[in-house]
Amino acid sequence: MSQLLLFIVVALVVGTIVFGVTVLLSGGDSGLTPVEPDGQSVPLPGDRPLGEDDIARTRFDTAWRGYRMAQVDQALQRAAYDIGYKGELIGVLEAEVTALREGRTEDADTLRAAREAAIAPTQATPAEKEQDKAKDDEPDGPVAEVAEVPPAADEEPAESR
């Protein structure tokens, strides 16, 4: 029995020495790197199109059973929107190239103008700002409009009664 106990102790010492030498040669144990604490989420940018680095840098807060669903859902929705936007932009660019190759310069110019208008940030003119201000002053919700109903064919007009 004492020989078995001595064998186990020697095996543990040899295993510890092998592990120590391996850690020294490999530069460290990657499983022991510090983890970012909760509350350090890094959301996707909302002011410009997404890039590959934006996705790689995104971090979510952790919850009891994983990541915070609201943050993940928001990031997925933003990424889906950006992918769809870029897909539409590629379609417009392909249509513009096709129009240029076929010699339809007017169509290509129209597509180019629409593409540039969609890409450029909209800057409202003073007249547009006043229109937006007037729209803000209008009551919210549907406005009922009363239309004049024509009299039925067998009914005489109210003016002649």
Task: Supply 80's token pair.
Answer: 């889906």
| Overall pTM > 0.85 | no
At residue 66, the 3 state secondary structure works out as strand
pLDDT (0 to 100) of residue 130 = 55
DSSP 8-state symbol, 144: -
Is-contact 80 72, C-beta < 8 A?
no
Mean pLDDT in order along the chain per 10 residues (161 residues) = 89 92 73 60 78 82 80 88 87 90 90 82 51 52 45 49 45
